[in-house]
Amino acid sequence: MIRCLLLLTVLSVIGCKQQVVKGKIETTFKNDTVLDSFFSVLHEKKMFNGAVAIKKQGKLIFKKGYGIANFEMGTPFTPNTAMEIASVSKQFTAAAVLKLYSEGKLDISQYVRQYLGDDFPYKEIKVYQLLNHSSGLADYEDYFKEHWDTSKIADNRDILQYFMKEQPPLISKPGSRYHYSNSGYVLLAEVVRSVSGQSLDEYLEKEVFAISGMVNSGFYDRDTIWELKNYAPGYFLDPIQCTYIKPELLKGKEYYHFLSGRLGSGRLSSSVEDLIKWDSILYKGAILNTETSKLAFTVHMPENDFSDYGFGWHVQEDEDLGKIVYHTGSWAGNHSYIKRFTDDESLIIILNNTHESANMKAIRTTIDAYVSGKGLSFPDQKAVDLLEKEICQLSPETVETWKNEHKDLDWDETDLTALKKRYIENKEPEKAKIVSKLISK
């Protein structure tokens, strides 16, 4: 449910000037004040912490950061701040494969084992089936969570060895069904290594980031990101102390550390500023030519299933807006979003590093509508979300006053009951008692 805060029939588009200098975008503009107000309120209400950029019909109308990037260092989150973009990384992996394809160095219709060796046990899988998530490969995460030595960082070769040695059965016949697969994109990174002689990070640095002027993009060792000055690590809320902490310190989340060595499916870090450059250069043909762009931005439907996936992108056709390509990402507290309206060159980029899953979905929906010419509405704020962040400051005696101060929140009692149950299971009776005060008898 969405309550209207601001209903606008006309976008407040501010004058912009833009010119290209050696592949970089130089832009002089004033931020859209309506969007600035919107994200300022979101940040004040603890619903957003990150950076945003928005283009309307090719013109940059908004670019700004909100909040803190590194909570220990107190550094600000700016458009130049790098953050792990999770599955938004897949479009870069796909671009590497397609670039090699355009150069005649690999064939996406060829069997994967031609590039990974005859020992690769799944002889029916083709490269393009990894790209469009129809390979049928099982996910590797569950196996590694159960069997991996957590004192070691797993990398791509460890994951490849898992498939070579354990040979988990395919979920479906290659090419027949859509099954979103991190495994497939890890293997694509190894295909890039086999063909180019470079690891994916090395290849992207030389063939994509350097050409695009993406100076804040790359792959970082997880143990180093907490000390970087221009970096936003992802955080989870500690339910005991009500503070943001490293995700891997929470019980059951250790895999965020030991699975931090893989390439292809995620882990790439980038900034809003760099992703603006990425969007711009995709129109110029410097990375993907006409043929490979068409392949990336066309749905490749499995034989017996529905899909909206191209190669590294979800693809939509809108009757009014034309072709739209997008991707989301979520990993270790980070949430990322890029949406490109390729017919009129509009763009949305949103990065957030405080695990705001529900809020990010509502924000995406609202901004999508705004860029499409509709009114801007403020998403409902769930009481349970704010309560989790502030409950350490409350008591059974003060919580009713707190509720009266937040009458405009979404007081979903199903969510509150579930939160109370979690506090009971975590042996926190005082917090459970506080939540009980907010549930109708």
pTM: 0.90
Q: What is the pLDDT of residues 57-99, one digit of tens each?
A: 999 999 999 999 999 999 999 999 999 999 999 999 999 999 9
Mean predicted lDDT score pLDDT of the chain: 91
* Domain boundaries 86-371, corresponding CATH code: 3.40.710.10
Q: Residue 30's pLDDT is what?
A: 87
In angstroms, the CA 152 to CA 139 distance is 20
Which residue spans within 135-240 are E strands per DSSP? 236-238
User: What is the arithmetic mean of pLDDT over 39-55?
Assistant: 96
- What's the pLDDT band for 4 if we cut at 50, 70, 90? very low
- Quote the pLDDT of residue 25: 44
Spatial separation of the C-alpha atoms in residues 285 and 278, rounded to whole Å: 11
Per the model's pLDDT, the better-predicted residue between 21 and 117 turns out to be 117
Over the stretch 370-425, which tens digit does the pLDDT of each residue have? 999 888 889 999 999 999 999 999 999 999 999 999 999 999 999 999 999 999 99
Q: How far is CA 306 from CA 133, 298, 302, 326, 362, in A?
A: 12, 14, 7, 17, 25
Contact of 248 with 254, CB cutoff 8 Å: yes
The pLDDT value given to residue 28? 66
pLDDT in tens, 131-168: 999 999 999 999 999 999 999 999 999 999 999 999 99
- Domain ranges across the chain: 86-371, 383-436
Q: Is 199 exposed, middle or buried (0-12, 13-18, 19+ CB in 10 A)?
A: middle
pLDDT in tens, 269-328: 999 999 999 999 999 999 999 999 999 999 999 999 999 999 999 999 998 899 999 999
